């Protein structure tokens, strides 16, 4: 699904250059659950921005679903982001005065999907995160953990090829954060491809592979082996 080779990113400000990525290479297969972790300044946020088509590299190559980012114009990048990528952010990015239904439906409003199918998709996505009873509740009335679960539903509603989760537990207490991670793990078990960006080891270990970054380079790329019993994630 993703192929990255010798990826570089350099930012120029006046006469000063900053090398955020110094030659990063890896691949991610369909159905993997991968954590990208590292301290502030390690390059993980820059890498996420490139992987999610928010930025372009200054060197190396990035291929998504068999096609290079260099072969796509801005209009196609926007289309792929809307149709093939789902996003979960630390700050939720929900509209508090809209209902859960309206928030989750937003990514579909830019498509030609009929209203009846949009409704079915929204209801299924909210049901998948266990909050169907909140469908017509204003999002501002929800707890932090519930908001993040609705953000996951919004990411699911377009049936994307991949979900990017950027510090999804950063604004949550430990119990709510674990519920969100359990949902992501359960979605992975159903075949979803997930890339989780975090600086926390406990969060990263919910994935099946951890890519550790430092100073714009990959420090390690390690699979996580669990016993069958330890893989018993389920949606709560």
Instruction: Please give the pLDDT value at position 230.
Output: 47
Question: Is 40 or 104 the better-scoring residue by pLDDT?
Answer: 104
Quote the pTM value: 0.89
Inside any domain, residue 233: no
Rounded to whole angstroms, how far apart are CA atoms 57 and 8?
A: 6
Q: How far is CA 199 from the centre of its chain?
A: 15
- Residue 116 domain-assigned? yes
pLDDT at 26 over 90: yes
| Segment 204-224 mean pLDDT | 95
Per-residue pLDDT, 149: 95
**229 belongs to a structural domain:** no
Query: Looking at the 3D structure of the chain, how many domains does it have?
Result: 1
Q: Please report, for residues 92, 93, 117, the alpha-carbon distance to residue 147 in angstroms, rounded to integers and kept in the order given.
A: 7, 9, 24
Distance between CA atoms of 158 and 206, rounded to whole angstroms? 24
In a domain, 232, yes or no: no
* Whole-Å CA distances, 92 to 152, 168, 209: 9, 8, 25
Would the pLDDT of 86 be above 50? yes
Greater confidence, 171 or 225? 171
Predicted confidence at residue 236, as pLDDT, reads 36
Range of the domain at 172: 2-223
Q: Is residue 230 part of a domain?
A: no
Establish if 172 belongs to a structural domain: yes
Kindly report the CATH number assigned to the domain that includes residue 128: 3.40.50.300
- The predicted-structure confidence for 49-71, as pLDDT tens digits, reads as follows 999 999 999 999 999 999 999 99
Q: How far is CA 112 from the centre of its chain?
A: 24
Please check whether residue 164 lies inside any domain of the structure. Answer: yes
Q: How do residues 109-130 score in pLDDT, each as one tens digit? A: 878 899 999 999 999 999 999 9
Question: Average pLDDT of the chain?
Answer: 92
Do the domain assignments include residue 234?
no
- Residue-level pLDDT at 227: 56
């Amino acid at each position: 699904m993703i192929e990255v080779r010798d990826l570089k990113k350099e930012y120029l400000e006046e006469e000063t250059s900053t090398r955020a990525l110094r030659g990063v290479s890896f691949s991610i297969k369909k159905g993997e659950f991968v954590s990208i972790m590292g301290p502030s300044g390690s390059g993980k946020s820059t890498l996420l921005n490139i992987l999610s088509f928010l930025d372009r590299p200054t060197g190396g190559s990035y291929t998504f679903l068999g096609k290079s980012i260099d072969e796509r114009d801005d209009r196609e990048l926007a289309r792929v982001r809307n149709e093939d990528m789902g996003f979960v952010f630390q700050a939720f990015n929900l509209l508090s005065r809209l209902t859960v239904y309206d928030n989750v439906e937003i990514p579909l409003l830019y498509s030609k999907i009929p209203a009846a199918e949009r409704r079915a998709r929204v209801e299924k996505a909210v049901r998948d995160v266990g909050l169907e009873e909140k469908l017509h509740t204003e999002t501002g009335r929800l707890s932090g953990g519930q908001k993040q679960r609705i953000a996951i539903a919004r990411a699911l509603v377009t049936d994307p090829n991949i979900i990017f989760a950027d510090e999804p537990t950063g604004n949550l207490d430990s119990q709510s954060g674990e519920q969100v991670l359990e949902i992501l793990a359960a979605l992975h078990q159903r075949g979803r491809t997930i890339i989780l960006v975090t600086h926390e080891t406990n969060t990263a270990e919910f994935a099946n592979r951890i890519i550790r970054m430092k100073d714009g380079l990959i420090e390690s790329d390690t699979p996580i082996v669990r016993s069958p019993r330890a893989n018993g994630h389920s949606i709560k």
